[in-house]
Structure 1
Amino acid sequence: MKVSYNLCLISALAAFTFGLASCGGGSSGGHKATYAFVSNGVDPFWTIAESGVKAAAADLGVHADVLMPAAGAVEQKSMLEDLLTRGTTGIAVSPIDSANQTDFLNMVAENTILITQDSDAPDSNRLVYIGMDNYDAGRACGALVKEALPEGGSVMILVGRMEQDNARRRRQGVIDEVLGRSHDPTRFDAPGSPVVGEDFTILGTLTDQFDRAKAKANAEDTLARNPDISAMVGLFAYNPPLILEALEQAGKLNEVKVIAFDEADRTLQGIIDGTIHGTVVQNPYMYGYKSIEVLKAIHEGRDHGAGDDGFINIDARQIRKDNVEEFWADLKKKLGKE
């Protein structure tokens, strides 16, 4: 893909849309390289990633901004447009709705270096995706479900959005592993109906659009409608702590198994306490660090480490009671919280 640094066209578009009137320059002509890391929301997960961005910027001697949209895809789009008008050298973004953002992301990719992190936009012209295979990570989470429920049972999945590529793949991986299916990342079970297997039933998938009140209400409603539910799986970082709150208020802690994703403090403490069976963790710190490292390498024409598919894999890990304290201590060290 050809990367252009002439942003006059984009500035004109922004002037029409937002009443701006500047025409930005690119990385040529002595312009100091600047990079940006754009999340898909606001969450402690992204605070960990921000620490990685800051560490990379300090180590590499570059300027890097971190932006976290609180209002969904519209705000994320506005942030990306603003970064273009400012002549940002390279952007690492976690697309909120990759399928419906492809044309826009391609426009961004024509005017700066564009990579994705955490969640991919596989049909876009991004140069690199930094993250994990979310389908395989979902299967690792499904394996934890089977550990927690060796005799089977009923399971509800809670997640922020289904529009995100990572959420869709992660959810499908959980379902396929729990039901003992073959490995097929292209499979998709519609979220509106139960999925029934020999030993397990996936009752459904509830979304909250990053609304914490809605996420907790989903957990509460699940317990009210399914008093004999066996387990709840929270696939975004904030879901498991809110599931615990709902269980505590319902007097059902330790009665309903909780299987988590990501490394929120309450999740890790829950594993120590025994109220959460386990979690699958990503490495948001490295997502942040590697994003800046790769953007700089691309800008300077150096090898960025991705294969022909543009994928830089940062493996997920299963965290249980036997390794949670070691993992948490390392995380605190990276965040300067020792």
Structure 2
Amino acid sequence: MQRLLVAGVSIAFAIASGVGSAGAADKKVLAFVVNGASDFWKIAEAGMKKAQGELPNYDLQFKYPEQAAAAVQQRVMDDLVAAGAAGIMVSAVDPKNQTDHLNKVASQTVLFTTDSDAPQSKRVAYIGSSNTDLGKEAGKLMVKALPNGGKCVGFVGLPGADNARERIEGVKDTIKGSKVELVDVRGDEIDQTRAKRNVEDILAAMPDVSCLVGFYSYNTPRIYEVLKEAGKLNKIKIIGFDEDPITLGGVKEGSIVGTVVQQPFEWGYQGMKLMANYIGGNKSGVPANGIIIVPGKVIEKANVDDFMASMKQMLKK
């Protein structure tokens, strides 16, 4: 399937910034609705704040549901629609089972998806990562870290979300034929306490586990904490996703093999501008298949310092 590829801040589609001025009461609302509370989303929020400076005719709002549940997320979107929001960008908690509701939202406002797509819905476009490709990169790190093979266990927030399912599939495709096995994946519904307990349970049940994979941003820090408490750092390989400070610190010190990161700043920045442009009548930035890919990156010890410096700069904006 043909996809529009977006690299860094150089976007292939043309985006017109807002012009003129408007009073607060005249501003159209564009909302970014996430799937749960996580520090990961602060990066996307920073991107949205940059976009706000370039879209004076819009009021950009970032929404955190108080619970990582489809029903709660749906209520947030219903409230936004009732208040007259011109557009919503959402990382769907459970895309498959939310399709009917997402279609209802799409019938009343402009709907985009990010992070976790809902391809069966009537959303205008998805802007985010290819989660399958991210999973493949993680699989390469696993094979590299375990040349003689071994048993691995993964941890994820929402097993039913497209981003989780596709990452896991990408890992499995890459390790197929090697001696590395992904023997289990534990879900936690974006519950930090449960996420840590899942790691503790695996250590107790599987003394022969060779590597642990954190599929969501907060999973890798919980893995790191449990292994450190158990005195098993550097004895069990850790592979992560996303750019949590604990994860990056572990990569820097060598206790985490590497992490596969996305570019959530661009989702917030370019995504909001694209949505405003679309609402304004310029639809040229949306490809025929509605998929806009922002590539990920693999962060290892050799490039972690440069990446951390770039992160610091982005969060200043």
TM beyond 0.5: yes
Q: 1:147 aligns with which of 144, 147, 162?
A: 144
Please report how far the alpha carbon of residue 319 of structure 1 lies from its aligned counterpart in structure 2 after TM superposition: 0.6
1:40 match: 35
How far off is 1:60 after superposition? 2.0
Shift of 1:303: 3.3
CA distance in 2, matches of 1:173, 1:147: 16
Q: Indicate whether 1:224 and 2:224 are aligned.
A: no
Query: Normalization by structure 1: what TM-score?
Result: 0.84
Gaps spanning 5+ residues in structure 1: where? 1-29, 181-197
Amino acid at match of 1:164: A
Contact 2:138 2:239 in 1 (8 A): yes
**Which residue identity does 2:136 align to in structure 1?**
R
For 1:120, the equivalent position in structure 2 comes to: 117
Partner of 2:44: 49
Deviation at 1:34, TM superposition (A): 1.3
Matched, 1:134 2:125: no
When Rg is computed on C-alpha atoms for both structures, the one with the higher figure is 1
Go from structure 1 to structure 2 and tell me whether the alpha carbon gap of 1:223 and 1:304 turns closer, same or farther (over 3 Å shift): farther
Mapped contact 2:196–2:226 kept (Cα < 8 A): yes
Cα distance in 2 for partners of 1:147, 1:305 equals 38
The secondary structure found in structure 1 opposite 2:71 is helix
- The Cα of 1:304 is off from its aligned counterpart by 4.6
Alignment of 1:170-249 (within 5 A): 170-180=167-177, 199-249=179-229
Distance between the aligned counterparts of 2:148 and 2:124, measured in 1? 45
Alignment of 1:1-338 (within 5 A): 31-61=26-56, 62-71=58-67, 72-180=69-177, 199-336=179-316
2:143/2:180 contact within 8 Å kept: no
Query: In 2, distance between residues paired with 1:307 and 1:137?
Result: 22
Corresponding position of 2:7: none
> Does the 8 A contact of 1:142 with 1:173 survive in 2?
yes
Higher relative contact order (CA 8 A, sep 6+): 2
Amino acid in the other structure paired with 1:52: G
Identity within the alignment, %: 43
Partner deviation per Cα, 1:42-83 (whole Å, 9 max, x = no partner): 111101111111110112222100001131212111100000
Partner of 1:195: none
Tell me the TM-score normalized by structure 2: 0.90
Indicate conservation of the 8 Å contact 1:305/1:312, yes or no: no
Moved more, 60-69 or 121-130: 60-69
Distance in 1, matches of 2:26 and 2:90, equals 22
Moved more, 255-264 or 166-175: 166-175
- Give distance in 1, aligned partners of 2:180 and 2:247: 24
State the number of aligned residues: 291
RMSD value, Cα: 1.2
CA distance in 1, matches of 2:190, 2:150: 28
Aligned residue for 1:44, secondary structure, equals coil
- The answer (yes or no) to whether the contact 1:235–1:261 under 8 Å persists in 2 is yes
Give SS of 1:41's match. coil
